[in-house]
Amino acid sequence: MSHGGPIHPMSTPGLAPTPPIQLTEAELKLLQVLVYQECGMHFDARRTHFLQDRLHRRLKECQMDSFYSYYRLLISEGGRQELAQLLENLTVNETSFFRNKAQLDLFQKHLLDEVIRRKQETGDFSLRFWSAGCSTGQEPYTLAMLVADSLAYHQMRTSSAIQLPVPKPLIPHPWKVEIMASDINYTVLRTGQEGMYTENQMLSVDYTYRLRYFDKLGERYAVKKAVKELVHFDFHNLKTEYLPQRNDFIFCRNVMMYFDQAEQKRLVTKFAKCLAPSGYLFVGHAESLLGLTEQYSMVYRNSGTAYQLVAEVE
């Protein structure tokens, strides 16, 4: 794509050609900066085409005749809804259950186990997780299933009382589990809240998990109520200042890759404030904290990676 002149939308074959609405370099820049300021998403040369395509779609949807008027709408008081709509159109929501198995093994078998033991010793029975950029919910529900299994096993291993064959609660007494799942996209949040998944979306879910944590409703799989109750979905823009505090684990995977380095730095520094002492941050397999901050130390095991918050030196 040339960066010199106006940019034209593609014409639809078979339809009478409509005069193309031009997106000038200056308009593109204005819109690019606005999107960056609003949510941190950065469109470099490789992704400009995607941005242009989505802008053309929104312009058509709003029946507007220039990108400058569209920009004026977005920055106006009455344009908040359209701005949210545009941002939704710009997010990439690809996700899956049990994504990055090696990393989840590190999480469940080593780090979660260590945190559970540590908390048990100090009599603190609460565990807080945050799936930041949770998309349609597969990530927070995966965490819920892994945590429920770990706590049940921990209870079995450490209890000397005779276990009666009665139905057990998902989270054994006295533990309390909270999983906050946030995203900037309302549509994916609604899907997460609904907790219904197709056979295709369930491909990475082993039958033992399907049996224990899902009900089959017609063609789809519904997350069981007790699992859903552990996860709280909420709109949250990672660009804003208020962030949920005292998390033992933060998962922010495959989100930072859409931000530029300056925004990535700001985000991981903010995450350090949102973690409990010695808490862990997980990022996507194509992401890293290298060169961004020195507040974490890397933990690596069998191809799985996480970052542990380092205690501040007084």
Ligand X SMILES: C[S@@+](CC[C@H](N)C(=O)[O-])C[C@H]1O[C@@H](n2cnc3c(N)ncnc32)[C@H](O)[C@@H]1O
Kindly tell me which residue out of 74, 255, 289, 309 binds ligand X, with binding defined by CB under 6 A. 255
Q: Nearest approach, Cβ of 245 to ligand X (angstroms)? A: 17
Spatial neighbors of 161 by CB under 8 A, at least 6 apart, are none
The CA-based angle 276-293-48, given to 5 degrees, is 110
Residue 6 near residue 22, CB atoms below 8 Å: yes
Asked if 135 is part of the footprint of ligand X (rule: CB under 6 A), the reply reads: yes
**Minimum distance of ligand X from residue 18's CB (angstroms):** 31
Scan residues 182-201 and list those touching ligand X (CB under 6 A).
183-185, 188
| Residue (of 266, 283, 257, 273) closest to 309 by Cα position | 273
Q: Which is nearer to ligand X, 139 or 248 (CB)?
A: 139
Burial (CB < 10 A; 0-12, 13-18, 19+), residue 195, is: buried
Closer residue to ligand X (CB): 228 or 253: 253
253 near ligand X, rule: CB under 6 A: yes
Q: Cβ of 44: how many Cβ atoms within 10 Å?
A: 10
Specify which residues 255 forms β-bridges with: none
Query: Which residue in the set 59, 238, 275, 292 belongs to the binding site for ligand X (CB under 6 A)?
Result: 238
Residue of the chain from 191, 201, 254, 264 that contacts ligand X (CB under 6 A)? 254
Q: Does 139 bind ligand X (CB under 6 A)?
A: yes
Where does this chain touch ligand X (CB under 6 A) — which range of 56-64, 68-76, 113-121, 247-255?
247-255
Q: Minimal distance in Å, beta carbon 136 to ligand X?
A: 8
Best CA proximity match to 42, nearest among 220, 208, 282, 266:
266
**254 or 305: CB nearest ligand X:** 254
Of 133, 192, 195, 279, the one binding ligand X by CB under 6 A: 133
Total of residues contacting ligand X (CB under 6 A): 26
Does residue 91 interact with ligand X by CB under 6 A?
Answer: yes
Which residue lies nearer to ligand X by CB, 155 or 194?
194
Token pair 């260590």 in the structure block, residue: 114
The reply on whether position 40 binds ligand X by CB under 6 A is yes
Buried/exposed code over 288-308 (b: 16+ C-beta within 10 A; e: otherwise): ebeebbebbeebeeeebbbbb
Min CB(45)–ligand X separation in Å: 20
Q: Does 95 bind ligand X (CB under 6 A)?
A: yes
Calpha distance 267→259 (Å, rounded): 10
CB of 276 to ligand X, least distance (A): 21
Stretch that binds ligand X, among 33-41, 170-178, 272-280, 287-295 (CB under 6 A): 33-41
Q: Binding to ligand X by residue 264, rule CB under 6 A?
A: no
CA geometry: angle 138, 144, 150, nearest 5 deg: 135
Tell me the C-alpha to C-alpha distance, in Å, between residue 54 and each of 82, 86, 181, 283.
Answer: 13, 8, 26, 27
Q: Is 51 in the site for ligand X (CB under 6 A)?
A: no
Six-digit token string for 238: 């990672």
* Binding region for ligand X (CB under 6 A): 39-41, 91-95, 99, 133-135, 139, 183-185, 188, 236-239, 253-255, 258, 284
